Homo-oligomer: A and B are copies of this chain.
Amino acid sequence: VPPRPDGKRVSLRALAEATSLHPSTVSRILNGVDVRSSAATRARVVRTAQELGYQPDVAARSLRTGRSFAVGFVIPDLTDTLFARLHQGAERAAHAEGYHTLLCTVELDAGLCERDIAFLTARGVDGILLATARLDEPLLERLREAGTPCLLINRHTLGGEPFVAADDEAGARAATEHLLELGHRRIGFVGGTPGVSTAEGRLAGYRAAIEAAGLGVDEALVRGESFGVAPARAAAEKLLALDEIPTAIVVVDDMMALAVHGVLREHGLRVPEDVSVTGFNDLPIAELVDPPLTTVTTQPELMGELATRILLDHVVRGAELRTELLPSSLIVRGSTAPPPLSRAGRG
Question: Chain A residues in contact with chain B, CB under 8 A?
Answer: 2-6, 55-60, 62-63, 65-68, 77-79, 81, 84-85, 87-88, 91, 95, 100-103, 105, 118-119, 121-124, 145-147, 229, 255, 258-259, 261-262, 265, 284-285, 288-290
Report whether A63 and B63 are in contact in the complex, using a CB–CB cutoff of 8 Å. Answer: yes
Report whether B105 and A55 are in contact in the complex, using a CB–CB cutoff of 8 Å. Answer: no
The copy count of this chain in the complex is 2
Residue of B nearest to A54 (CB): B122
Report whether B103 and A101 are in contact in the complex, using a CB–CB cutoff of 8 Å. Answer: yes
Report whether B124 and A57 are in contact in the complex, using a CB–CB cutoff of 8 Å. Answer: yes
Residue of B nearest to A84 (CB): B78
Taking A229-B288, A258-B289 as known contacts, 16 extra A-B pairs with beta carbons closer than 8 A to each other, sorted by chain A number, are A3-B65, A3-B67, A55-B118, A57-B63, A58-B59, A59-B60, A59-B63, A63-B63, A78-B88, A79-B84, A91-B103, A100-B103, A101-B103, A258-B288, A261-B290, A285-B285
Residues of chain B lying within 8 A (CB to CB) of residue A121? 55
Of B59, B95, B255, the contact of A288 (CB 8 Å cutoff): B255
Residue of B nearest to A78 (CB): B84
Of B4, B79, B84, the contact of A66 (CB 8 Å cutoff): B4
Residues of chain B lying within 8 A (CB to CB) of residue A3? 65-67
A144 to chain B, nearest CB (A): 10
Residues of chain B lying within 8 A (CB to CB) of residue A146? 6
A265-B290 contact in complex given A55-B122, A103-B91, C-beta closer than 8 Å? yes
A4 to chain B, nearest CB (A): 4
Residue of B nearest to A79 (CB): B84
Bound-state CA distance A77–B62 (Å) is 29
Bound-state CA distance A62–B63 (Å) is 9
Of B63, B79, B118, the contact of A88 (CB 8 Å cutoff): B79
A125 to chain B, nearest CB (A): 10
Bound-state CA distance A85–B67 (Å) is 31
Report whether B88 and A105 are in contact in the complex, using a CB–CB cutoff of 8 Å. Answer: yes
A79-B284 contact in complex given A63-B63, A68-B59, A147-B5, C-beta closer than 8 Å? yes
- Report 6 cross-chain contacts, Cβ distance below 8 Å, ordered by A residue: A3-B65, A55-B121, A58-B68, A77-B88, A258-B289, A289-B290
Report whether A100 and B100 are in contact in the complex, using a CB–CB cutoff of 8 Å. Answer: no
Bound-state CA distance A102–B103 (Å) is 8
